[in-house]
Amino acid sequence: MNLSKGFTKLANRVSKAAGRPLTFAVCVGLVLLWAVSGPVFKFSETWQLVINTGTTIVTFLMVFLIQNTQNRDNAALQAKLDELIRVTRAENAFIGIEKLTDHELEAILEECEKNVPELRKIVKAETPERPGKSKAVAAAVRKTVEREAGHAGEPKRPAAKRRAPSRKRA
């Protein structure tokens, strides 16, 4: 096993364990045990140094493990989104935009916002006070997406066939 795979396995295990209630309870227990032991050690500097050093080391190491886990999760999510963009009628130019500068991303976002004012109006119409608009919203969104995402010369992909709902016999 190479270093990268070993670190990935360790990071996955530690981040999974760190997020569990039992881990939190054990940490609270250790802090309480340390606090209760204060009178025994006469609240000495060494007693204080133990908790300070322990929490500093754990925090320092967890920062790297958590960052590694977030980086991998983000990369996997980005790959999935890129694949969805690639296989749908969405604009393929969006693939890889996460590598652009903040200024470039803001320019793309502004352009996208200019292109869909109708969609915003429709979405705003769907409020908890006015339920039942879901079918109308879905149809309008589909219409807007087809109009905005249609590319010249690109053949239309056939719509996915819907299966009729099965009926249970009594």
Q: Mind listing the pLDDT tens digit for each residue in 12-36?
A: 888 889 889 999 999 999 999 999 9
> Contact 136/121 with Cβ under 8 angstroms?
no
Q: How far apart are CA 30 and CA 36, in angstroms?
A: 10
Residue type, 54: G
In terms of Cα–Cα distance, which of 36, 62, 13 is closest to 28?
A: 36
Q: Mind listing the pLDDT tens digit for each residue in 68-93?
A: 888 888 889 988 888 888 888 777 88
Q: How far apart are CA 111 and CA 106, in angstroms?
A: 9
φ and ψ at 14, to 5 degrees?
Answer: -65, -45
Could you tell me which residue, 162 or 11, shows the higher pLDDT? 11
Q: Mind listing the pLDDT tens digit for each residue in 30-59?
A: 999 999 999 999 999 999 999 999 999 999
